Structures are given as structure tokens and as C-alpha cells.
Amino acid sequence: MLSAAISDFAAWIATTPLSNFFTSHLWLIPASQSVHYMALAILFSSAAIIDLHILGLVRVHQALSRTVQRFVPGIWIALVVMTLTGLLLLIAEPARSLTTWEFQSKMAMLLCVVVLTLFMQRRVAAQSGGWGSSADVPVSARLFAVASLTLWLLIIVAGRWIAYHA
Amino acid sequence: MALSDLLLGIEHSALGTAIREGASWFPMLESLHVIALVSVVGSIVAVDLRLLGLASRDQPVMRLTNDLLPWTWGAFVVAAISGLLLFSSTPVRYFDNTELRLKFFFMLLAGVNMMVFHFVTYKNVHTWDTSDAIPGSARLAGGLSLAFWGLVIVFGRWVGFTL
């Protein structure tokens, strides 16, 4: 069974020296979480600025391609930092991370939004003229923006709920 | 009415009790608080990076701030409301919590820094808005802002571990 394999994997991680280092220096967990939140501030704001631009709610005086060019690096750089701090948090508390539906759904949604964002980035780059006015923005772009915002918000909620798993 | 009476009153109120003892109020309020605070800090960081000349250099500062500040303020209101509701769950202990006090202290410093920047440095923004030469006072304001808000996040996170 997959869930048994995941539980065994989590149990094994808990026996590693790195995991034990975290549990004997517990302050490392809130420290890693703090960096996780700082990166999240940059990631979510960057994604939200792009999504809100597509929806015509912010920076409508700029071409969308400029907004994406300016803020998409924030998403990817912050995502790297969050993956690293996330890995540390996972190693520190493997069972809480790997075996809970909160964590698993968060990872599934993260995969979806990353793929969608890559698609969006490619489409905007191909659209060399940029969309002049909000009337020109295709429906697919608006759908992306709503999906992206929704997914990031649900990811944040799921992330917070990991701590409350009974 | 003594402050301790007020705090106890809030703690025993229906609202405080519901948030403290309910299964999902506190986590949902916390989630909302996180969403709001990352929006506040993220939008401020975008302006700070511009003031430090590290990002969006081709954009006038005024345009960036005009675009983002309404969202910063809106998110701040949500953060404040969710924060107050979280506080009402156990106000007696939160009030005495050193980390929470430090969090508000650094928020205050961040606010003062922003006001000094707005009323002093920003007054002649037209002269340096689009140039490469960003005044030292603007860079300082950007750097201090990053430091203060970073500490707000750190102390905010520590509240949960020290309560």
C-alpha cells in the first residue's frame, strides 16, 4: 500500500542525523518557517500582481509582458527558497509532512499551479505585442489568473493546516 | 475598568470563546492572517527593492507605489482584523507575550520609517524618480523597511512557540 510505504519513508527520515539535529535544536523549526514566510511574501505578491494585471485590476497602464518579465523571477526565486526551507521542515517533522492529507494536497496543488504558471509564461512571451487593453486579454488568460490565485490561496491554507493535523 | 478586566472580558466573551475552543476558527483566521501579511510584506518589498535600486529600475518609483499601495493598505486592514480576532482568543496571555510586543514594536518602527520617507524624502521624488542616482535617504528607508518587516515576520512566527 502506498500510504504504508510513505509512513515507512517518514519513519526512516526521522532516524537520520539531520532530522535528529532539528529535534535537538528545536528553534531551527520556527527559524526555517520564518524564512519560508519571507519567501512566501515575495512569491505570492509576485504571482498576485501578475494575476491581478491579467484581470485588469492593477498596473493596467503597462503591457502584461512587462509585468510578467518584472515579477515572474520573484515567483521562481522564492519557490527555490521555499523548496529548500520546506525540505528542512519536512526532514525535521517527516510524519507530519509526508503522511497528512493537508501536505499531500498542498503538493498536488503546487504542482498544478507551477505547470500552469510555466504555460502562462510561455504564452505571454510568444505574444510579442502584449495585450494592449483589457478587452484583448483572452478568456484563457483570465481563467489562468483566477486558477492561479485560487490555488496559491488554498496552498497557503493547506500549509497552515498541516500544523493542526490531529 | 482595569485593563486586566477588559482582557478577561474579551477572553470570556462569546467571540473569544468561540475562536479559542472552536475546531476551525483559529486555523482559518491564522490562514487569513498569513495571506494578508504576505501581501503586505511582499508589496512593500517590491517598493523597497526599487528604492535600493535592485529591481524595477526602469520604473518610476511613484508609478510603482501608486500601483501597489492601495493593495498594501487593503491587506493591512485584513491583517489587523484577523490579528485582533486571533488576539481575542487568549488576550491575557497574548498581552504579556514578549515576542508579540516586539512584533508590534518593529511594526511601529516600520511605520515611522515609512512616514519619514513619505514626508521628507518623497517630497522631491520628481527629481530622482527616473534617474539612476537614488538618494541615500531613499536607499536607507528601503533597507530599514526590509529589516523591520523581516523582524515582524520572525517575531510573529515566534509568538506561536512562546505563548
pLDDT tens digits, one per residue of A32-89: 999 999 999 999 999 999 999 999 999 888 888 889 999 999 999 999 999 999 999 9
Cα B149 to chain centroid distance, Å, stands at: 7
> For residue A122, is it within any domain?
yes
Instruction: Give me the number of domains chain A comprises.
Output: 1
pLDDT > 90? residue B163: no
Q: Give dist(CA B79, CA B140) in Å, integer.
A: 26
CB < 8 Å from B in window 84-143 of A: none
Ordered by start, the domain boundaries in chain B are 3-162
Is A7 among the domain residues? no
Q: Do residues B38 and A37 touch, judged by C-beta distance below 8 A? A: yes
Amino acid identity of B53? G
Cβ–Cβ of B153/A58 closer than 8 Å? no
**pLDDT for the residue B126:** 85
**ipTM > 0.90 (yes/no):** yes
Interface of B with A (CB under 8 A): 27-28, 30-31, 34-35, 37-39, 41-43, 45-46, 55-56, 59, 63, 67-68, 71, 150, 153-154, 157-158, 160-161
Residue type, A129: G
Using CB atoms, pick whichever of B38, B46, B67 lies closest to residue A40: B38
> By the 8 A CB rule, do B138 and B114 touch?
no
Q: What percent of chain B has pLDDT over 70?
A: 100
Question: How much is the pTM?
Answer: 0.93
Would residue A1 count as lying in a domain?
Answer: no
Contacts of A52 in chain B (CB under 8 A): 71
- Residue A127: inside a domain, yes or no? yes
A147 found inside a domain: yes
In terms of residue numbers, what domain contains A106? 17-162
